[in-house]
Amino acid sequence: MSNPKVLPLIAPESGAVVPCCPPLTERPFTAEEAETAARMFRALGDPVRLRLFSAVASHEGGEACVCDISDVGVSQPTVSHHLKKLKDAGLLTSERRGTWVYYRVEPSVLASMGKLLAVAPAAA
């Protein structure tokens, strides 16, 4: 069984967003930064996973029951597989409530992704 790594997105003591990597335009990535960013992009590189991530991120209240987002054209076990990949990459969190699992995209994840892809301000 693999031992997945979670992206370091939140500083636990402060709750402040700590991007996994500097903006792409700031400087070249280190090997570790490139691996971290690649894990995230690899998880989002599948169309079904991207649709599931978008469904959770855009769902009312910021979280979605698996029962509300599983209509992506694949079987339920495949949906579960893709949601696990998104969780393993640190892009989703989940909580079991009774028989259903609810998924959430933490705001810090979206903020971190935005910082990674942001254009560095031009020097004045």
Q: What is the pLDDT of residues 24-40, one digit of tens each?
A: 788 888 898 888 888 88
Q: What is the reported pLDDT for 59?
A: 92
Sheet holding 63-65, edge to edge: 63-65, 100-104, 93-97
β-sheet bridge partners, residue 97: 100
Each as own residue / partner, the long-range contacts of residues 24-32 (CB below 8 Å, 24 or more positions apart, any chain) are 24/116, 24/117, 25/118, 25/119, 25/120, 26/120
Q: What is the pLDDT of residues 40-60, one digit of tens each?
A: 889 999 999 999 999 999 998
Q: What is the pLDDT of residues 58-87, one digit of tens each?
A: 998 889 998 888 888 898 889 999 999 999
Residue 124: is its pLDDT beyond 50? no
